Amino acid sequence: MQLYNTLSAEERAELIDQAGKQRLTLSFYAYAKIEDPKQFRDNLFIEWNKLDALGRIYVAKEGINAQMSVPAENMEAFRDTLEAYDFMKGIRLNVAVEQDDHSFLKLTIKVRDKIVADGLNDETFDVTQIGVHLNAKEFNQILDDPNTIVVDFRNHYESEIGHFMGAITPDVETFRESLPIINEQLQNHKEDKNLVMYCTGGIRCEKASAYFKHQGFKNVYQLEGGIINYAKQIQEEGLDSKFIGKNFVFDHRLGERITDDIVSQCHQCGKPCDNHTNCENEGCHLLFIQCDECKTALENCCSTECKKIIHMSLADQVKLRRGVKNGNKIFRKGKSDKLLFKHSGKLSDKPLAIADTNESELAKQKAKNIRQKIKIKKILLGKAEHYYVKVGIGLFSIENQEVTIGDKILISGPTTGNQEIVVEKMFVNGSENTIAKVGDKVTLSLPFRIRLSDKLFKIIA
């Protein structure tokens, strides 16, 4: 039974365009006790795959955290798949302020130790003992109280492009870092202040509110549904927004505008800008803010060094990456000495500029650019099984269609990227051969490392 994606992101984007049907970007979470997260994960994949639901979902023994794209016509059936579980009956779905049919292009459901990594090993901590939920109107009112301290429980690259006025914005890269920092900073205000917190969709401050109640704070509040729900409520109820700028989101959009205020700068030239991008160099992939002029001049790279690298041959690029460990040493979230105009920590509430009224058209153009990246037609052959580092040999299992000498193939994965080669020589089930059929094991000499998450495709056009 299929429990993984068989289409690449580009193929999925093309199918979405061909269907021409509206999709809704949404998010939800629920803390609950799940006895068998693996079985829960598999059941969800089977049901959601039938509905053409896409997204990034984490499940753990403590619950579920999901950011998704669902066809509008399938929303009722999708909600039924949630209602099948008691802990998700009546669950709130945070629908995005700005919609993009290409917000997610794969269905990825991963089993994790926790749905929100907190670094805590305290068995007496009960995540369900949460603070008081506040709607948008109540949140605005409590922010006007001089006895209120408001804390942003997102990371530095999120708060930089938008935040609530007067909020403490910790200079952190992970949620787990912020808990002890804020706890120490507010030790003297456990009883005399309102501790008010917010995050993107509510899941992080839900856990944070329980943590601070556990630490002895008396007046703990959280923004119900996070910034996403706040933006929806202020629009529907005609309330003033105490949030300024953009809300960072974890999909292809990388942000949705809440107000027209631009509060951040292009990290390369200093021009007012709040558009995130990832460095084009696969060995860097740095997340940073880049204006259109710098994007053109540096070809979507964070530096001239990375710009030079993307024009090198694939083999030479791989050589440069060899021996460099993955993780934060390569894939960093906006921290580099190359970024001259990066700001984090204490942030200003003063807007630097007002967003162009044609920004919605730019967003449409961005979606169009995603579709224009579809340059090749390919079909899934199989998946990676092993990589023999010392000899540079990749082992693949052929699952869907045969491959022959002379075929042009694509090896694709989140870390490997998209690597194209022509099959000039291969070993099939241990012997050199010119054709491999479904069920065979194939080894190929490769100028780059592959991972177990990689898929093998045949390029047919």
Spatial contact of 423 and 457, defined as CB atoms under 8 Å apart = no
Told to judge if 205 belongs to the known catalytic residues of this protein, a careful annotator would answer: no
- H-state helical runs in 20-121: 37-50, 75-83
**Residue 326 main-chain phi, psi, to 5 deg:** -75, -165
The answer to whether 23 and 70 are in contact (CB under 8 A) is yes
CB atoms under 10 Å from CB of 352, counted, come to 16
* Cα–Cα distances in angstroms (integers) from residue 154 to residues 157, 168, 242, 320, in the given order: 8, 10, 17, 33
CA dihedral 60, 63, 68, 71 (to 10 degrees): 120
Helices of type H across 105-221: 136-143, 156-159, 175-185, 203-214
Biggest CA-to-CA distance, the chain: 77
Q: Give every CB contact of residue 12 below 8 A, 6+ residues apart in sequence.
A: 54, 105, 106
Query: Going by C-beta distance under 8 Å and a sequence separation of 6 or more, which residues neighbour residue 260?
Result: 354, 355
Q: In the structure encoding, which two tokens stand for residue 207, read together?
A: 């856990």
Give catalytic residues, as residue numbers: 199
